[in-house]
Amino acid sequence: MALAILLTCIPITIVSCIGGYVGNRYLIQQYQQNNEIMLRESVRRIDGQFAQLVQYALHMMANPIFKPAIADMNYVDEFEKTQELLDTMSLIENGESLIDQAYLYIPKQNVLLQPVLGLRTLDDPADRAVWNSLMNGDKGIFWTNHLTRPFGRSGSKHAIVMKLPFNGQTSYGALVLYVNPAMLQLNVTPDQAAYVLDGSDVVIGQSDAAKSYPELLPRIMEQLGSTKRTYDSQSRFQIRADHEQFLMNAVSFEKMNRIWTFVTGTPSSKVTAPNSAYTHVVVVYWIVSLIAALGLSWFASNRFYQPFRKVMDLVRDGKTDEDADPSDEMAYIEAKWQQYRFANESLQSRLDQSTPKVREALINQFVLGQAAHLSETEMIEKLRALQLDVTGCLFSVVVCQLHGLDGHKAPLTEKDSQLITYAAINIVGEISEASAAYVHTLDLLDGSIAAVLIFPETSAMDDARDELLRLGGEMLRTLEHVLRMPSTIVVNGPAPLWMDIPFLLEQSRKALSYRTFTSESQLLDATAVLEQANPEVDFPYDLEQEFTHTLNLGLEREAADILERFVTALKNEGAPEWVVHQGLMRLKSSLYRSMLQSGHNPYALFDGVQLEEELRTLRDAEACIQWFGKRVIRPYIDMLSKSYQHAMKDIVDQVLATIHDNYMCDISLETFAMEAGVSVSHLSKAFRQMTGSNYIDYLTALKIGRCKKLLLTTDLKMNEIAKSVGYQPPYFNRMFKKLEGMTPGQYRLQFSETKLGKAE
């Protein structure tokens, strides 16, 4: 406890010493700051003195008496003009306090005029050379600090030289004004040492106090020599000289096209002298504070351990730690704190690593429509919490469908498909990141991928749309070049709201089905495609009937050829993908109907839902044909081969051949059964199985089909057409209207106009 109390005294002592030191330093700093202000005021006064001097001299030089003729005048003979010049020089010398002596130098006659000396000639060659050198150079006015006064006159060597005429091309004389340093208004206190230095760091004037410190000026020159000075620069430093610490301030200013410097220095003892009277106050304060600290330390030491006990209980959390050292509570607390800190940093690191994944999961959930209950504001806040700010941004969607993942061109394993999809996602993401502020990619798990592009707030709607189309084209080219795989790119947007993204994605996926089979790689604009969502396609109904009939006959190869013609016809009409799929589904439905009519169960042979889902995944016409042949035609042919007897098939084939050749005759099914030696019911069932319809309906359809052909290809009358197929005209009209929904004449007129329109 004694050590603790003793240690308590140390801070009080240190604080007291620091307080005294800081107080003095603050006083010195404030003094130097205030001195800088006074120093600048003094600089302005000195600058004003010299400016006033130059202005006064220029005004006097405008006197007509200083005309060029004075260079050639006879000063002895023209004594009146000479006296006038001397009077003018006397006026100049006495008109400005800063002027000590004024001389008029005429180099042509090597004479000087001065009010006291009068007219004097420079007989000494050295003096003549010095004064004649003043006329060299191009400056009309300049400062000199080494011009000795002529004829043994005492005084400073600092002078302002002004050539006559001022700023003239040819000078005939010079007006030399020696400066009186004692008249400089330094504006300093009696304790301040002040110096005015010209551009060559020659002392022009100094204060009386500066003469008391002979070591100060060399130290100032040394300090200024190591400092770069510019116009209007100022500096603050301290110098030790003559057993005193001087607080120095220096200000530079421009005069006579040179950098002059005004320096002042004050002994620090003079600045801190006012604090000496308060030293005893500080000592008393220290003693009182020390006594109070000793008392408080003794009182606090008794309760010192209580906070540590609380902290120890807190970090132990009620558990007994056998490794804890009771003699070093701080080390134990530090160790526990390091553990908590490490755990906190680890959790924060995991959070930072998981934030992108959580953000991607949230966007996936939203894009796929699983977060529809959230509002626009709620989604923006959630994304901002996950380090993604989408306020004011534009949102677009790109959907990419790779063609060839189904393996119809080259066999692909599931791993190959996954690698290709992963590569496509990376390509789409990297290309999009070049223009978009943020890109989110996802695998739609149906052979297609999607990317959500977020453009910055500064992007215009039209610019973002153009950039989106450009990115889509670049993606197409890159995918085809890198993966050697065609694809379809659908772009949609931009939209100003985040909540529009699921709709954009849905429209883009819908637009995928509008790609055509005429080219492999395609770039689609979802908005433009869906605006033209109802294509006009002539459906090949005749090929549909021919396909069903051929397949019912068990002709697999011929049915496959008709299927290929069917798909090619749709392609040539420019039918989009979904129309081709619907056409194939229609063929399947026709086959279902035929099987039901013939007494077979199509649902036992085919899984309709699975077939439709498989067909939707096909993006190539050749793949559709191969799939239909494998999944529809082949099973149906196998079923026919198992259910039909070969003999019965021959009988039905003979019946079909006969009625195709003699459809205009009235031949009944009983006649064929009698000739073949089979029952009418067995023949009727076999006929239904092979053709998909009963005998009467088949014969009627055959006759009506022949009539439609004659209506469109010949000019025969209705009676003639009816008789050519074995119908009475009234019965023909009724039957045709019943089956086709119009009379034969209306049918001929309608389809004739259609062909004429196409021809045009």
pLDDT of residue 27: 63
**Do 568 and 519 share a structural domain?**
no
692-721 pLDDT per residue, tens: 788 888 888 888 888 888 888 888 888 888
Domain that holds residue 593: 539-640
749 part of a folded domain = yes
**Do 543 and 490 share a structural domain?**
no
686 part of a folded domain = no
Residue 740 has pLDDT above 80, yes or no: yes
Sign (positive or negative) of CA dihedral 417, 420, 422, 424: negative
Contacts of 490 (CB under 8 A, 6+ apart): 398, 399, 400, 401, 508, 509, 511, 512, 524, 525, 526, 529
Cβ count near 165 (within 10 Å): 17
Residue 683 has pLDDT above 70, yes or no: yes
Q: Quick one: how many helices (H) and strands (E) in the chain?
A: 27, 16
Q: What angle in degrees, to the nearest 10, is found between the helix axes of 2-61 and 279-302?
A: 150
Tell me the average pLDDT across 547-575.
77
By C-alpha distance, which of 15, 19, 21, 17 is closest to 272? 21
Q: What angle in degrees, to the nearest 10, is found between the helix axes of 695-713 and 646-661?
A: 30
- Beta-strand relationship, 448-455 and 522-525: unpaired
Count of domains for the chain: 4
**Do 436 and 577 share a structural domain?**
no
Write out the H or E segment, with its range, that includes residue 121. Answer: strand 118-121
Residue 466 has pLDDT above 90, yes or no: no
Interatomic CA distance for residues 703 and 697, integer angstroms = 10
**Do 581 and 626 share a structural domain?**
yes
Residue 259 has pLDDT above 80, yes or no: yes
44-98 pLDDT per residue, tens: 888 888 888 888 888 887 788 888 888 888 888 888 888 888 888 888 888 888 8
**Do 248 and 144 share a structural domain?**
yes
632-671 pLDDT per residue, tens: 888 877 777 666 566 677 788 888 888 888 878 878 888 8
| Residues 94-119 as b or e (16 or more Cβ within 10 Å = b) | eebebbbbbbbbbbebebbbbbeeeb
466 part of a folded domain = yes
pLDDT of residue 754: 60
264 or 606, which is more confident: 264
> pLDDT grade, residue 1 (50/70/90)?
very low
Interatomic CA distance for residues 514 and 509, integer angstroms = 10
Contacts of 451 (CB under 8 A, 6+ apart): 397, 398, 399, 400, 428, 429, 432, 439, 440, 441, 442
Residue 330 has pLDDT above 80, yes or no: no
**How far apart, in Å, do the first and last CA atoms of the chain sit?**
117
Contacts of 115 (CB under 8 A, 6+ apart): 86, 87, 89, 90, 93, 102
661: left (phi over 0), alpha (psi -120 to 50) or beta: alpha
pLDDT of residue 361: 87
Tokens 């996936």 belong to 364
704: domain CATH number is: 1.10.10.60
**Do 711 and 616 share a structural domain?**
no
| Residues 32-49 as b or e (16 or more Cβ within 10 Å = b) | beebbeebbebbeebeeb
**Do 632 and 742 share a structural domain?**
no
The C-alpha angle with vertex 549 and arms to 636 and 703, in degrees rounded to 5, equals 160
What is the percent of the chain where pLDDT is above 90? Answer: 3
SS3 content of the chain, % helix, strand, coil (to 5): 60, 15, 25
**Do 488 and 579 share a structural domain?**
no
Of 640, 655, 680, at which residue does a domain stop?
640
Look up residue 140 and give its two tokens. 């009309």
Distance of CA 317 to the CA centre of its chain: 49
Round the average pLDDT of the chain to a whole number and report it.
80
**Do 188 and 118 share a structural domain?**
yes
505 part of a folded domain = yes
pLDDT of residue 234: 82
511: domain CATH number is: 3.30.70.1230
> pLDDT grade, residue 625 (50/70/90)?
confident
- Beta-strand relationship, 234-241 and 258-267: unpaired
454 part of a folded domain = yes
Question: Considering the entire predicted model, what is its pTM?
Answer: 0.42
Name the 3-class secondary structure at 244. strand
438 part of a folded domain = yes
Of 531, 551, 576, at which residue does a domain stop?
531
Write out the H or E segment, with its range, that includes residue 342. Answer: helix 329-367
Sign (positive or negative) of CA dihedral 159, 164, 166, 168: negative
| Residue 264, strand partner residues | 194, 249
291 or 357, which is more confident: 357
Tell me the average pLDDT across 460-473.
86
558 part of a folded domain = yes
Query: Helix H segments across 519-620?
Result: 526-531, 541-552, 556-572, 577-597, 602-605, 608-616
Q: CA 93, 96, 99, 104: dihedral to nearest 10 degrees? A: -40
383-418 pLDDT per residue, tens: 888 888 888 889 999 999 887 765 555 566 777 888
Residue 721 buriedness (CB in 10 A; 0-12 / 13-18 / 19+): buried
Tell me the average pLDDT across 544-564.
78
pLDDT of residue 450: 92
Q: Contact 251/43 with Cβ under 8 angstroms? A: yes
Contacts of 372 (CB under 8 A, 6+ apart): 502
**Do 105 and 190 share a structural domain?**
yes
97: domain CATH number is: 3.30.450.20
**Do 550 and 526 share a structural domain?**
no
688 part of a folded domain = no
Of 260, 291, 322, at which residue does a domain stop?
291
Tokens 């954009």 belong to 504
**Do 711 and 620 share a structural domain?**
no
Contacts of 142 (CB under 8 A, 6+ apart): 160, 161, 256, 257
The residue type of 738 is: K
pLDDT of residue 42: 80
Tell me the average pLDDT across 468-495.
89
| Residue 123, strand partner residues | none
The residue type of 706 is: R
Q: 121 φ, ψ to 5°?
A: -105, 140
